[in-house]
A and B are shown apart, each in its own frame.
Chain A
Amino acid sequence: MRAIVTVIGKDKVGIIAGISTVLADNNVNILDINQTTLQDVFTMIMLVDISGLAKDFTELAECLEKKGEEIGLSVRIQHENIFNSMHRI
């Protein structure tokens, strides 16, 4: 089971560290990271494996959201399927 984590907001120190700590704490493995900064807007897309997830998916989503608020960014996690179904035939 794989999901996509999207982080969008103003670039600053410690974004990747903050988000990946939450993921590691929940036994989520990062498979791929892609990041760009366009005019100071930081965008990071992470492909993660959630098959070893210790808690409920919803709880993880809330943890990430909370972390995002702490750092001042928008963080969301969605099942990978929604992107595959929309953009791949």
Chain B
Amino acid sequence: MIRTREVLETIKMIQEECLDIRTITMGISLRDCCDRDSKRSRQLIYDKITRLAANLVKVGNDIEKEYGIPIINKRVSVTPISIIAESSDEEDYVRFAETLDKAADAIGINFIGGFSALVHKGYTNGDKKLIRSIPEALSSTKMVCSSVNVATTKAGINMDAVCEMGEVIKRAAELSKDNDSLACAKLVVFSNVPEDNPFMAGAFHGVGEPECVINVGVSGPGVVKSALEKVKGADFGTVSETIKKTAFKITRMGQLVAQEASKRLNTQFGIVDLSLAPTPAVGDSVAYILEEMGLEKCGAHGTTAALALLNDAVKKGGVMASSYVGGLSGAFIPVSEDAGMIEAVKAGALTLEKLEAMTCVCSVGLDMIVIPGDTSASTISAIIADEAAIGMINNKTTAVRIIPAFGKKVGDVVEFGGLLGSGPVMSVNRFGSEEFIKRGGRIPAPINSLRN
């Protein structure tokens, strides 16, 4: 029989250390929903999502009750809509976003991802129309999330798309100005985007994925933090071992839930995403883990090294716990969603430049960062270009989810509410990059030898 100590450890993780399954995400292929007639195509999309994911929320809730583990989000990701919609005669892709929103509402999920386009090497006609419609689509719908992949290690960086995304983000901020530019929180610009990521806003169902699949994202920064509290002052070997053991336990739970959910939904099990995803709740912060390692504040010198160790140890511990690992897998550093990061920014310890360095060693990129509303589109594009370059050169996923909050200045705080948290407006470099961004074209794919 399982020992008392072990039972109590699990219960303590859940009750006091905010351990949870962050998301069960059902990936659904919409490739059989293409039609010349836009209305018919949208009907096919609606029918397929509501049919396959009809029981998703119920199954999630049942598992939550039976295992006593909170499952925070149930979500759906679909094939990038640019691929589906471009067969149709539709010019205004906002209608497809409305269909996704309606389907999400019908099945009771809180986000649906896949209003996406993959343009790392260039645009198709559908990609063009989709990207053009993003600002309106995200400000007129509630649950739709969008992502655009602008770079890969094999293709280089599509600088035309980088340039356009700066404009798209500005426009989305303006259209949703009454909601603190919330639309931008639902839009991610990627380099090397994974096709099986269960986390929003960047989730979509890749073209290499099966018909329908269950991917699960775990969480648990609080559990790692409290495990590290017990090894205060110990050397880094001990720190790494402690994180690995904790990540193993967290991931095993994710694996169990993923298998159970896919069995009950009669769907293939895809991957477990081993991520430390923070929430604004106290005690659920990645920044606090870094501080627990001995940094006075997240953002102090040494933060990048601490994050590198954390990210690597999470993967090492998690990989053995799950039969299939994928998605983004690593530590997230979303500023507005992490109580410790918010404090660090307010204290002046954490800057945009430091966050950029941290993205070289963490799982994603510049995430949920609020910048002044008067930041120019070309500066936003340049931020995206820098981040895409880091991903391209280092063979890793990087992303930018940035909010130029309309009418807000450095020092203001923007409240998004819920899991999206609240973000202090951070300053950006005041020197321009316009001529650089205006050049357009593609940055060629990098060489993969002679690595220095």
Which A residues form the contact surface with B (CB < 8 A)?
A: 4, 6, 8, 32, 34, 36, 43, 45, 47, 57-58, 61, 76-88
Most chain B C-beta atoms within 10 Å of own C-beta, residue among A47, A61, A81, A83: A83
Q: Is there an interface contact between A80 and B2, defined as CB atoms closer than 8 Å?
A: yes
Q: Is there an interface contact between B68 and A82, defined as CB atoms closer than 8 Å?
A: yes
User: Counting CB contacts under 8 A, is B347 at the interface?
Assistant: no
Contact of A4 among B7, B69, B255, B256 (CB under 8 A): B7
C-alpha spacing A58/B280, complex, angstroms: 30
User: Counting CB contacts under 8 A, is B132 at the interface?
Assistant: no
- Tell me which residues across on chain A come within 8 A of B253, comparing CB atoms: 82, 85-86
User: Counting CB contacts under 8 A, is B431 at the interface?
Assistant: no
- Beyond contacts A45-B4, A78-B67, A80-B2: 11 other A-B pairs, Cβ-Cβ < 8 A, are A4-B7, A6-B7, A34-B1, A36-B4, A57-B65, A57-B66, A58-B66, A86-B249, A87-B3, A87-B6, A87-B249
- The residue of chain A having its C-beta at the shortest distance from the C-beta of B250 within the complex is A86
- The residue of chain A having its C-beta at the shortest distance from the C-beta of B63 within the complex is A79
- The residue of chain B having its C-beta at the shortest distance from the C-beta of A47 within the complex is B1
Given contacts A83-B6, A86-B249, contact A78 B68 (CB under 8 A): yes
Q: Is there an interface contact between A43 and B249, defined as CB atoms closer than 8 Å?
A: no
C-alpha spacing A84/B1, complex, angstroms: 9
Given contacts A4-B7, A43-B8, A87-B6, contact A82 B1 (CB under 8 A): no
C-alpha spacing A84/B7, complex, angstroms: 10
Q: Is there an interface contact between A83 and B7, defined as CB atoms closer than 8 Å?
A: yes
Contact of B2 among A4, A8, A58 (CB under 8 A): A4
- Tell me which residues across on chain B come within 8 A of A61, comparing CB atoms: 65
- Tell me which residues across on chain A come within 8 A of B10, comparing CB atoms: 82-83, 86-87
User: Counting CB contacts under 8 A, is B129 at the interface?
Assistant: no
Q: Is there an interface contact between A58 and B65, defined as CB atoms closer than 8 Å?
A: yes
- Tell me which residues across on chain A come within 8 A of B62, comparing CB atoms: 58
C-alpha spacing A8/B8, complex, angstroms: 10
C-alpha spacing A36/B67, complex, angstroms: 23
Q: Is there an interface contact between B252 and A85, defined as CB atoms closer than 8 Å?
A: yes
Q: Is there an interface contact between A84 and B65, defined as CB atoms closer than 8 Å?
A: no
Q: Is there an interface contact between B6 and A79, defined as CB atoms closer than 8 Å?
A: no
Given contacts A76-B11, A85-B255, contact A34 B4 (CB under 8 A): yes
C-alpha spacing A80/B62, complex, angstroms: 15
The size class of the interface chain B forms with chain A is 20 to 34
C-alpha spacing A47/B3, complex, angstroms: 11
B391 to chain A minimum Cβ distance, whole angstroms, is: 33
Q: Is there an interface contact between B66 and A78, defined as CB atoms closer than 8 Å?
A: yes
A86 to chain B minimum Cβ distance, whole angstroms, is: 5
- Tell me which residues across on chain A come within 8 A of B249, comparing CB atoms: 86-87
- Tell me which residues across on chain B come within 8 A of A34, comparing CB atoms: 1, 4
Q: Which 6 A-B pairs have the closest CB atoms?
A: A78-B68, A85-B256, A87-B6, A83-B2, A82-B67, A85-B252
What are 14 A-B interface contacts by the 8 Å CB criterion?
A32-B1, A45-B7, A58-B62, A58-B65, A76-B11, A76-B68, A78-B66, A79-B66, A81-B67, A81-B256, A82-B67, A82-B69, A83-B7, A87-B6
C-alpha spacing A47/B66, complex, angstroms: 15
A46 to chain B minimum Cβ distance, whole angstroms, is: 10
- Tell me which residues across on chain B come within 8 A of A47, comparing CB atoms: 1-2
- Tell me which residues across on chain A come within 8 A of B1, comparing CB atoms: 32, 34, 47
Most chain B C-beta atoms within 10 Å of own C-beta, residue among A47, A78, A80, A85: A85
- Tell me which residues across on chain B come within 8 A of A83, comparing CB atoms: 2, 6-7, 10
A62 to chain B minimum Cβ distance, whole angstroms, is: 9
B250 to chain A minimum Cβ distance, whole angstroms, is: 8
- Tell me which residues across on chain A come within 8 A of B252, comparing CB atoms: 85-86
Chain B positions 192-225 with a Cβ under 8 Å from a chain A Cβ: none
C-alpha spacing A8/B10, complex, angstroms: 14
- Tell me which residues across on chain A come within 8 A of B255, comparing CB atoms: 85
- Tell me which residues across on chain B come within 8 A of A57, comparing CB atoms: 65-66
C-alpha spacing A53/B131, complex, angstroms: 54
C-alpha spacing A44/B255, complex, angstroms: 28
A15 to chain B minimum Cβ distance, whole angstroms, is: 16
B20 to chain A minimum Cβ distance, whole angstroms, is: 13
C-alpha spacing A47/B2, complex, angstroms: 9
- Tell me which residues across on chain A come within 8 A of B65, comparing CB atoms: 57-58, 61
- The residue of chain A having its C-beta at the shortest distance from the C-beta of B64 within the complex is A58
C-alpha spacing A79/B256, complex, angstroms: 11
C-alpha spacing A45/B256, complex, angstroms: 22
- Tell me which residues across on chain B come within 8 A of A43, comparing CB atoms: 4, 8
C-alpha spacing A80/B10, complex, angstroms: 12
C-alpha spacing A84/B11, complex, angstroms: 13
Q: Is there an interface contact between A87 and B2, defined as CB atoms closer than 8 Å?
A: yes
